[in-house]
Amino acid sequence: MTSNTKPGFETLAIHAGAAPDPATGARSTPIYQTTAYVFDDVDHAASLFNLQAFGNIYSRLTNPTVAVLEERIATLEGGRGATCVASGHAAQMLAFFSFMEPGDEFLAATKLYGGSITQFSRSFKKFGWNAIFVDAEEPENFRKSMTPKVKAIFVECLANPGGVIVDIEAVAKIAHEAGVPLIVDNTMATPYLCRPFDYGADIIVHSTTKFLSGHGNAMGGAVVDSGKFDWAQNDKFKSLTTPEPAYHGLNFYETFGDLAFTIYGHAMGLRDLGPTMAPMNAYLTITGTETLPLRMQRHVENAKAVAEYLEDHRQVEWVSYAGLRSSKHFKLAQKYLPKGAGSVFTFGIKGGYDAGVKLVESCELFSHLANIGDTRSLIIHPASTTHRQLSAEQQKAAGAGPEVVRLSIGLETVDDIIADLDQALAASAR
Amino acid sequence: MFANTVKPSFEKAGHDSYPDTLIRKILREVKVIAMVGASPDWNRPSYFAMKYLQAKKYRVIPVNPKVAGGEILGEKVYASLAEIPEKIDMVDIFRNSEAAGPITDEAIAIGAPVVWMQLGVRNDEAAARAEAAGLTVIMNRCPKIEYGRLNGELGWHGFNSGVISSKRRKLPEKA
């Protein structure tokens, strides 16, 4: 396209990062199912190993199929670059690995995907990274919890599963005043519904397993860099701004400027931690992103209809969907998610634990499983499954009380989705 | 680059973004580049860029008074632009924004058609003088990164190239 026109989101979702294969003209992105790449000569190899030339060495670090997806996601988010990894959890590990040292801290919202809370509070502890959990409903809480050891703030744009929206702009301001980046998990919203960089976020992480791939068939994660955060503004981010012994004293930020964070993600993160995305999964996710705008439109349309149906149902105590006027997050949803508040939300069923179990088991169309962001509608009763190991108090605090049911609304005919819930609710009351 | 330099101010129009057509034209037409601030230290950014540009068949002549008379990547190092006995198509400035001012004036004096200031380097006053003298000025960009962006190499590493095309990627072939 001519260089001065800005392509629309739908065009980017199909074309960004991809081009006909230079060797064969293949139009769909080839799956480069290879572990390694030949060097032209010893000097070429040395240039690659020293990060002096662009090119591939070994698929743990870079792969041409994965790179297409990386550029696609970076472009859709309006970022500078992206590092794709094996899962959303790997994305979080890699993002923090770029600047955290043992003894460092970061602030994280209390309302996060349960798996992230466990990763932050248990496994990250083994690296000496300490998460401080903060109630994000009041952004000022982040300012109050700031310490000199804090290196970042982490929030989910649209929290899983509670229908909670974080005021990204306000939190970004607090992060920047403290000289640290804001990391936003944008899995639930996707760049189609919200672009956190537009509100001051510095790094975005994704579980691409969810809406980006969209078909429940490919694991993956992504770390996206805005390229705008100044890592040299203070001495907090030494791994990016001081000589790196593993690359003979290379200073990443000085050498690569706004590319530094993403190059570090590949050259250090993927090289040493190793959570590489498989080329096949990248290919499936590339195919998924091509229809992201269409799918998200239908996901939010269906979700809103289902949420409205449930809100009026006599067996339903409450519905937590930010797209409903009754939600306390409705106003923030209008600002950050004007096209729709995602398609994952929770509701409370009258009759508590037993009714929840019966509802889930009575569904015929909804699939009973622990995932979100599939073409298929999904249902889970957290108290009897994902949050089973927690105490009653812990379950309640995590938004997984005995009455809570989580839905991920898919792309089936909306009348069929509602009819299935209707018959299952009736069955659960028997 | 951001570590040692004053952050460039971007309020003036005209140098915040450059059309790909302009960057392509420069990279296609330029043959001989004088790199001011080229370092003999193999892990310095200027060394990276020089090596890359050489691999892309550009002749790169290093300028660095501290190591004048020596060699970097097989090329003789000069103390100043004025001392280079050859015709220069582009002056690539690997110095801070302030130092870029007098270097730009030297570039005007030797009749170089293009002044290119590296990522993080921007001097609007110098750019205005150069443009008044008929030079083309690019600021706050790296020719290596731009070359890699336009030929698809940057995409190998997951960067947003801004290129949308249904054609096979081609190198910006030199005239």
Name the pLDDT band for B3 (thresholds 50, 70, 90): very low
* Strand partners of residue A223: A83, A205
CATH code for the domain of A415: 3.90.1150.10
C-alpha distance from residue B113 to each of B32, B110, B130, B138 (Å): 11, 9, 9, 11
Residue range of the domain that includes A196: 9-288
Task: Write down the pLDDT at residue B170.
Answer: 66
Classify residue A257: in a domain, yes or no. yes
Question: Is the pLDDT score of B153 beyond 90?
Answer: no
A284 and A393 housed in the same domain: no
Q: Residue B8 pLDDT more than 80? A: no
Statement: residue A398 has pLDDT above 70: yes
Indicate whether A201 and A297 sit together in one domain.
no
Asked if the model's pLDDT at residue B90 lies above 50, the reply is yes
Residues A254 and A296 reside in one and the same domain = no
> A243 vs A238, A252, B43, B163, CA distance in Å?
8, 8, 10, 33
For residue B152, the chain A residues in CB contact (below 8 A) are 19, 22
The reply to whether A191 and A317 lie within a common domain is no
Contact A79 B160 (CB under 8 A): yes
Q: Which of A107-116, A190-199, A238-247 has the highest mean pLDDT?
A: A190-199
The distance from CA A257 to its chain's CA centroid, rounded to whole angstroms, is 25
CATH number at residue A222: 3.40.640.10
User: At a CB cut-off of 8 Å and minimum separation 6, what does A380 contact?
Assistant: A360, A368, A369, A370, A386, A405, A406
| pLDDT (tens digit per residue) in A399-414 | 889 999 999 999 999 9
The pLDDT of residue B172 is 53
Mean predicted confidence (pLDDT) in A166-170: 97
Q: Which of A288, A306, A336 is the last residue of a domain?
A: A288
**A158-167, A204-213, A318-327, A334-343: range with lowest mean pLDDT:** A158-167
pLDDT grade, residue B2 (50/70/90)? very low
Is A403 found in the same domain as A324?
yes
Is there a single domain that holds both residue A315 and residue A281? no
Q: Which of A298-312, A387-401, B58-72 has the lowest mean pLDDT?
A: A387-401
User: In A, which residues are within 8 Å of B166 by CB distance?
Assistant: 15, 19-20
Clarify whether residues A257 and A281 are in a common domain.
yes
C-alpha span between A251 and A260 (Å, rounded): 9
Which three-class secondary structure state does DSSP give residue A50?
coil
Domain count, chain A: 2
B53-79 pLDDT, tens digit each: 999 999 999 999 999 999 999 999 999
Q: For residue B18, what pLDDT is reported?
A: 92
Q: Is residue A212 part of a domain?
A: yes
- What is the 8-class DSSP label of residue A391? -
Residue A36 and residue A122 in one domain: yes
- Please state, rounded to an integer, the average pLDDT across all residues of chain A: 94
For residues A88 and A225, membership in a common domain is answered with yes
Last residue within a domain, chosen from A288, A319, A340 = A288
Per-residue pLDDT at B102: 97
Q: pLDDT higher for A301 or A160? A: A301
Is residue B10 pLDDT above 70, yes or no?
A: no
Nearest by Cα to A210 from A225, A190, A195, A224:
A190
Shortest CA distance to B1 belongs to which of A231, A271, A3? A231
Burial readout A254-266 (b: 16 or more C-beta within 10 A, e: otherwise): bbbbbbbbbbbbb
Place of tokens 């939190």: A171
DSSP structure class, residue A165: B
Q: In chain B, which residues touch A (CB < 8 A)? A: 1-4, 7, 19-21, 42-45, 47-48, 51-52, 55, 119-120, 142, 145, 148, 152-169
A150 and A259, same domain (yes or no): yes
**Confidence at A260, pLDDT banded by 50, 70, 90:** very high
User: Which residues from chain A sit within 8 angstroms of residue B162, using beta carbons?
Assistant: 75
* pLDDT tens digit sequence for A70-89: 999 999 999 999 999 999 99
Nearest CA distance, B73 vs chain A (angstrom): 12
- ipTM of predicted assembly, 2 dp: 0.80
Among candidates B82, B83, B78, which has minimal Cα distance to B60?
Answer: B78
Last residue of a domain, one of A269, A288, A307: A288
More confident residue, A292 or B21: A292
> Architecture of B20-157 per CATH?
3-Layer(aba) Sandwich (3.40)
Return the minimum-mean-pLDDT range out of A130-144, A246-260, A317-331, B126-140: A246-260
Q: At what angle do helices A292-311 and A414-429 cross, to 10 degrees?
A: 40
The residue among A5 and A195 whose pLDDT is bigger is A195
Report if residue A203 sits inside a domain.
yes
CB–CB of A53 and B157 under 8 A? no
Over 50: is that where the pLDDT of B5 sits? no
Quote the tokens at residue B104: 């730009």
Are residues A274 and A180 part of one domain? yes
The answer on A129 and A81 residing in a single domain is: yes
Contact between residue B116 and residue B108 where contact means Cβ atoms under 8 Å apart = no
Mean local confidence (pLDDT), B147-160: 88
Q: Please report the pLDDT score of residue A45 as a whole number.
A: 87
